[in-house]
Every structure is written in C-alpha cells, then in structure tokens.
C-alpha cells in the first residue's frame, strides 16, 4: 500500500477550521482508495510568530522540503500588521515559496453548475468553463535585473524594471504546461506579447520547440491583450493557459473572477523536484475566524489538487471533487455563497455533509 507524508500548515485565522475539515476528508478518502497518509502539523505565519518569533521557522521549512506534499490553509491577521516587514506572516509565505523553489503556479478555474449565478458573467458565457492557468512564478519582470529608480541632473525621475527569461526558465514552466495539457483535454494556449517583446519571441520559440515532444498536444499562441479579452468573451475556448509571471498575475485573477467566488478557488505551486505546495487562493479571513462561518471548499479542492498532482492519486482526487459538487447540488451553502432557497451551514456542518457525500 502506498503511503505519503503530508506537512500540514494550518496557519492563521480560519486556517485551523478549514484544515480540520480537509484532514478528516483526506483520512477517509485515503482509506477508500487504499493508500495511507500521515500528517505532520507545523506552524507558519502568525501562529509561528506566536510560537517562535519567526514567521517561517527553519524546522517548518525543512519539514516541508522533506514531505511528499504540503497543504497550507492561509496566514496573516491584523495583530501582525505593525511588525517589521521581514517579521510579518506574509514574509513567511514568500520565504516558504522561494525556500521550496516553487516556480510554477497553477490555478484551475472550473464553473460549478450549482454556483453559476455567483458569477458576474452571463450563464451562456461561463457554463462549462474548465481551464487551468499555469503562471511562471519566480522569474520575469518582478525579478529581472537591472531594476530601480534614478534621478537625472535635471531632476527628471525614471523607474525601470527588466523583463527577462532564460531558455531554461521557459522550458521548465512550459513542460509543466504541456504535462498538464496531456492529463487534461490536450490543448495548450501560450500567452505572450511576441509582436513587441524580444523576451516573448524567445518564449514562443521555446514553446514551439517543446511541442515536438508532445505530439498529442494542440498548441496555440495568443497575445496577452487578446487573451484578456477572450477570457471574458469566450472562456470555454481555453484549456491550459501557459504564461509568464506578470501576464499570469493579471490573467489568473481575471480568470478566477469567472467563478465569482473566492471561497471556492484552489491553487498549487510546484518546483522541478521536491514536494508541491497546495493552498486555497483566499486569505485567513480574520473577520470570521473562530466563528464556524468559513467556507472549507477551496481548502478541500486544494487537497484534491494535492492528491491529483502531488500524489498522483487521481481517483481519490475525483472523489473529493464529486463530494464538493454533491453538497452544493444539495443546496448547502456557507455564508459567503448563501443564496435564496439554499440551506445555510457552518464550516463543521459542511465538513460533515462532505464526509457523508464521500460515502
Ligand atoms: P481574505 O481572502 O482573507 O478575505 C477577504 C474576504 O473574503 C473577507 O470578507 C473574508 O471573510 C472572505 N473570505 C475569504 N475566504 C473565505 C472563506 N474560505 N470562507 C468565507 N469567507 C471567506 O483577504 P484579506 O481580508 O485581504 O486578508 C486577510 C489576511 O489574509 C491578511 O492578513 C492577508 O495578508 C492574508 N492573506 C493571506 C493569503 C495566503 O495565506 N495565501 C492570501 C491572501 C491574504
């Protein structure tokens, strides 16, 4: 029987509540699919500051690096906002991502039929949308050198950043995109600005070169301005959307809003080797922490991504996703999703309903 070691980072705010739900479900789904999971809870963010004075203790980072996968809820809270930047919970999260060398950020955007009314877009535009944004996370214009600000002798100020990608940086993120396209419907759209930017021309050439390794994948290219428009005009045309750091930052938020609901969105961050980090897109929601009001579904869907991508347990991942669809189809809603005619439930009751749906 396969067994996997999971480092569990509950973090702050609603983190412990939604982590408890995900853990119960993971234990059951593992049993149902004949593998075992062991959990190693570690402090991160504000919880780690309270315990050790540091937002990312060395012991937490080393537990994450040594795991088969890392499941994180969320970090942060107003009580830490006045700490020096390096000591804040958010710095712990950035240090975790860079310490685990996570260069690929994956955000699936899937419309749940029961929640279609939550989107700001019309039903006929968004029904059936099921896409994955693959964003490069550790390169591009956010990190390129030179960057800075200078003032000329005449007093004119200038700010500058450099958008740079090496062929190896492009190849490693492109491979993540192609591999995902193989697992999904076999379509990959690479987004760039190759009509203007040299760095995008290299990006396009490397993606085309990699296409010869993946004969089953249909590759297309799109300029980023057109992609931004197409995402709200006809989002069903996309399956895997592969792009760099800056374009991905913008497009992944735009794509996320197709669903209309932050409490539903999971994500994964992956490196070349070593474990991936799986976490909901939302934050620690301090305004509702400890009140049994949190929506645990993004966390549960992040756990499903961990099973599928991190542990290659596709059937178990699909079971968790089916349970999420089932509770929503039953009309159960936490406060953030509440709509007329539905039944209001708290975080724990949602967890109980998910367990029941798992069977
Ligand atoms: P947030 O996502 O925590 O909350 C925004 C709004 O959405 C709040 O009204 C909150 O109640 C609601 N919400 C979020 N998740 C929910 C859930 N699962 N169920 C029900 N309602 C939910 O964003 P924020 O308020 O800007 O930030 C709060 C804290 O979280 C800050 O300290 C911020 O730095 C941190 N944060 C952490 C992460 C992370 O850990 N990856 C991401 C974003 C923000």
230-257: pLDDT as tens digits: 999 999 999 999 999 999 999 998 998 8
Residue 114 within any structural domain of the chain: no
Please give the number of the atom of ligand 1 that sits closest to the Cα of 335.
Answer: 20
> Do residues 10 and 70 make contact, with C-beta atoms less than 8 angstroms apart?
no
Please give the number of the atom of ligand 1 that sits closest to the Cα of 287.
Answer: 11
- Which residue segment(s) compose the domain that 67 sits in? 1-105+265-359
Task: Specify which residues 40 forms β-bridges with.
Answer: 7
Res 98: pLDDT: 87
Residue 47 within any structural domain of the chain: yes
Res 285: pLDDT: 96
Question: Is 269 touching ligand 1 by the criterion CB < 6 Å?
Answer: no
Is residue 126 predicted with pLDDT exceeding 80? yes
Res 119: pLDDT: 85
Res 339: pLDDT: 84
Active-site residue (options: 50, 198, 208, 253): 253
Q: N- to C-terminal Cα distance for the chain?
A: 21
Is residue 196 predicted with pLDDT exceeding 90? yes
Active-site residue (options: 68, 80, 193, 239): 193
Res 261: pLDDT: 77
Residues in the chain, overall count: 359
DSSP 8-state class, residue 83? S
Task: Report d(CA 354, CA 358) in Å as an integer.
Answer: 6
250 and 269 part of one domain:
no
Res 85: pLDDT: 84
Please give the number of the atom of ligand 1 that sits closest to the Cα of 282.
Answer: 2
Ligand 1 centre distance from Cα of residue 286 (Å): 7
200 backbone dihedrals φ, ψ, rounded to 5°: -75, -30
Lowest mean pLDDT among 140-149, 258-267, 347-356: 258-267
Res 259: pLDDT: 85
H-helix segments, the chain: 15-32, 46-52, 58-65, 89-99, 123-126, 167-183, 198-211, 224-233, 245-256, 297-305, 314-329, 347-358
163 and 210 part of one domain:
yes
Report which of 12, 46, 11, 14 is spatially closest to residue 289, judged by C-alpha positions. Answer: 14
Task: Identify the band that residue 113 occupies on the pLDDT scale cut at 50, 70 and 90.
Answer: confident
Rg (the chain; Cα; Å): 21
> Do residues 57 and 43 make contact, with C-beta atoms less than 8 angstroms apart?
yes
**Is 81 considered catalytic here?**
no
User: Average model confidence (pLDDT) for the chain?
Assistant: 95
* Cα-based distances in Å from 107 to 36, 184, 248, 266: 26, 14, 10, 7
Please give the number of the atom of ligand 1 that sits closest to the Cα of 295.
Answer: 19
Res 75: pLDDT: 97
Report which of 58, 65, 60 is spatially closest to residue 75, judged by C-alpha positions. Answer: 60
* Peptide bond before residue 239 is cis, with ω within 30 degrees of 0: no
Pocket perturbation via mutation, ligand 1, pick of 19, 47, 284 by most ligand atoms within 8 A of CB? 284
Mean pLDDT of 17-21: 98
If DSSP codes are grouped into helix, strand and coil, which group holds residue 59? helix
Report which of 268, 200, 185, 191 is spatially closest to residue 222, judged by C-alpha positions. Answer: 191
Per-residue pLDDT tens digits for 203-216: 999 999 999 999 99
Lowest mean pLDDT among 118-122, 125-129, 293-297, 351-355: 118-122
Distance of CA 311 to the CA centre of its chain: 16
Token readout for 111 is: 């419309």
The total of structural domains in the chain comes to 2
Question: Is 75 touching ligand 1 by the criterion CB < 6 Å?
Answer: yes
334 and 353 part of one domain:
yes
Residue 222's CB is within 10 A of a number of other CB atoms, namely 19
252 and 291 part of one domain:
no
Task: Identify the band that residue 262 occupies on the pLDDT scale cut at 50, 70 and 90.
Answer: confident
Domain boundary (259, 292, 312) is at 259
41 backbone dihedrals φ, ψ, rounded to 5°: -70, 135
Report the greatest alpha carbon distance in the chain.
Answer: 73
Per-residue pLDDT tens digits for 323-350: 999 999 999 999 998 888 999 999 999 9
Ligand 1 centre distance from Cα of residue 283 (Å): 3
**Is 249 considered catalytic here?**
yes
207 and 305 part of one domain:
no
Per-residue pLDDT tens digits for 72-103: 999 999 999 999 988 999 999 989 988 999 99
Task: Identify the band that residue 11 occupies on the pLDDT scale cut at 50, 70 and 90.
Answer: very high
Res 313: pLDDT: 97
Domain boundary (206, 240, 259) is at 259
Task: Identify the band that residue 263 occupies on the pLDDT scale cut at 50, 70 and 90.
Answer: confident
Residue 110 within any structural domain of the chain: no
DSSP 8-state class, residue 234? -
Percent of the chain with pLDDT over 70: 100
Task: Report d(CA 181, CA 254) in Å as an integer.
Answer: 21
Active-site residue (options: 142, 292, 325, 352): 142
If DSSP codes are grouped into helix, strand and coil, which group holds residue 337? helix
**What is the torsion angle, in degrees rounded to the nearest 10, for the CA atoms of residue 69, residue 332, residue 238 and residue 73?**
-30
Closest residue (by CA) to atom 16 of ligand 1? 263
Residue 284 within any structural domain of the chain: yes
Question: Is 107 touching ligand 1 by the criterion CB < 6 Å?
Answer: no
Domain boundary (259, 291, 312) is at 259
**Count of helices and strands (H, E) across the chain:** 12, 14
- The domain that contains 251 carries what CATH number? 3.40.718.10
């Amino acid at each position: 029987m396969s067994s996997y070691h999971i480092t569990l980072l509950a973090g702050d705010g609603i983190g412990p509540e939604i982590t408890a739900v995900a853990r119960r479900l993971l234990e059951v789904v593992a049993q149902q699919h004949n593998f075992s999971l062991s959990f190693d809870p570690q402090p991160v963010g504000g919880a780690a500051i309270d315990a050790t004075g540091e937002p990312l203790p060395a012991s937490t980072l080393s537990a994450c690096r040594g795991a088969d996968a890392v499941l994180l809820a969320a970090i942060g809270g107003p009580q830490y906002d006045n700490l020096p930047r390096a000591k804040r919970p958010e710095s712990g999260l950035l240090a975790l991502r860079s310490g685990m060398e996570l260069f690929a950020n994956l955000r699936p955007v899937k419309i749940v039929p029961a929640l279609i009314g939550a989107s700001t877009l019309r039903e006929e535009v968004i029904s059936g949308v099921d896409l994955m944004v693959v964003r490069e996370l550790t390169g591009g214009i956010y990190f390129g050198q030179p960057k800075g600000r200078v003032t000329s002798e005449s007093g004119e100020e200038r700010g500058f950043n450099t958008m740079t990608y090496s062929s190896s940086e492009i190849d490693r993120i492109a491979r993540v995109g192609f591999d995902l396209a193989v697992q999904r419907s076999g379509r990959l759209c690479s987004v760039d600005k190759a009509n203007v930017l040299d760095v995008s021309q290299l990006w396009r050439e490397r993606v085309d070169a990699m296409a010869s390794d993946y004969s089953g994948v249909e590759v297309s290219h799109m300029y980023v301005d057109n992609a931004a428009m197409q995402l709200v005009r006809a989002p069903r045309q996309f399956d895997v959307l592969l792009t760099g750091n800056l374009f991905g930052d913008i497009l992944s938020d735009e794509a996320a809003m197709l669903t209309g609901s932050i409490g539903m969105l999971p994500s994964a961050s992956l490196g070349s080797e070593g474990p991936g980090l799986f976490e909901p897109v939302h934050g620690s929601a301090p305004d509702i922490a400890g009140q049994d009001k949190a929506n645990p579904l993004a966390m549960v869907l992040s756990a499903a991504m961990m099973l599928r991508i991190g542990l290659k347990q596709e059937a178990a991942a699909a079971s968790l996703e089916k349970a999420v669809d089932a509770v929503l189809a039953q009309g159960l809603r936490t406060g953030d999703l509440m709509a007329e005619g539905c039944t209001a439930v708290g975080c724990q009751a949602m967890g109980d309903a998910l367990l029941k749906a798992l069977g």
